C-alpha cells in the first residue's frame, strides 16, 4: 500500500520556475522531481569505494628533462640518440 501525503512548501520563485522547466523537459511532474531530489538528499552517503569516485591519477618521477623541446635541433639529436 502506497501512502501519499500532501504538504505545503515555501520555494523561491526562481527555483520553482526551474523546477517547472525541468519537469516539462523530462516530461514528468514537479512532485516526482521534488521527491527524487529529497530521496537523493536523504539517502545514506555512498561509501568511497563506489564507482562514482575515480581513483587518483598515477604519479611518477620522470628523472628530469633530457632536452628543451623548444630547441628543435636538440630534440632531433635526442630522438636520434635514443633510437
40 versus 65: which is more confidently predicted? Answer: 40
Show the DSSP H helices in 7-71 as ranges. 13-26, 30-42
Domain spans of the chain? 11-44
The CA distance from 31 to 23, in Å, is 9
Q: What does the pLDDT average to over 34-49? A: 81
Q: What does the pLDDT average to over 17-29? A: 94
Q: Which of 15-24, 35-44, 52-61 holds the top average pLDDT? A: 15-24
Angle at 34 between CA 31 and CA 38, to 5 degrees: 135
Find out whether 23 and 30 touch, Cβ atoms under 8 Å: yes
Amino acid at each position: 500500500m502506497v501512502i501519499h501525503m500532501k504538504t505545503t512548501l515555501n520555494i523561491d520563485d526562481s527555483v520553482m520556475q526551474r523546477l517547472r522547466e525541468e519537469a516539462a523537459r523530462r516530461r514528468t511532474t514537479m512532485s516526482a522531481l521534488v521527491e527524487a531530489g529529497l530521496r537523493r538528499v536523504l539517502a545514506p552517503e555512498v561509501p568511497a569505494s563506489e564507482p562514482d569516485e575515480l581513483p587518483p591519477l598515477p604519479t611518477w618521477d620522470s628523472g628530469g628533462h633530457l632536452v628543451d623541446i623548444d630547441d628543435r635541433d636538440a630534440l632531433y639529436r635526442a630522438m636520434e640518440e635514443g633510437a
